[in-house]
Amino acid sequence: MNDLSRGDQELGERVEGYRRREARARTESVGSVWRTVGRVGALGWLIAIPTVLGIWVGHALDRAWGTGVTWALALLLCGVGVGVSFLWFTLREVGDELKEEEP
């Protein structure tokens, strides 16, 4: 195969690949929109739940050990850290999926 044929084949494959990706994006677009809306809706809970859990457990420990608000504050910060990590992983996953779907 010479350069001309190779060039034609590459161009054909690229256009064919573009056509396949666009057709897939069209059929999957509705489902993926709702999936994305669901994910975005859940993002707030990803931070809120670990934070509230941290405060609740910390408060319980403070009451049991009489340490004022030390454990509540410490576990609040841990909860926020855990929530932000969950958020980061989820956003990265969404970003990877969007890159795959891009025609």
Residue ranges in contact with other proteins by CB under 8 A: 2, 4-5, 7-12, 14-16, 18-19, 22, 102
Query: What tokens does 98 get?
Result: 């969007």
Of 10 and 93, nearer to other proteins (C-beta) is 10
Least distance in angstroms from the C-beta of 38 to other proteins:
26
83 contact partners, CB below 8 Å, separation of at least 6 = 46, 47, 48, 49, 50, 51
Q: Between the CA of residue 18 and those of 14, 46, 61, what are the distances in Å?
A: 6, 36, 58
Least distance in angstroms from the C-beta of 4 to other proteins:
6
Of 8 and 28, nearer to other proteins (C-beta) is 8
Of 56 and 97, nearer to other proteins (C-beta) is 97
Of 17 and 81, nearer to other proteins (C-beta) is 17
Least distance in angstroms from the C-beta of 101 to other proteins:
12
Distance separating alpha carbons of residues 8 and 28, to the nearest angstrom = 30
Query: What tokens does 28 get?
Result: 């999957």
The single-letter DSSP state of residue 103 is -
Least distance in angstroms from the C-beta of 32 to other proteins:
18
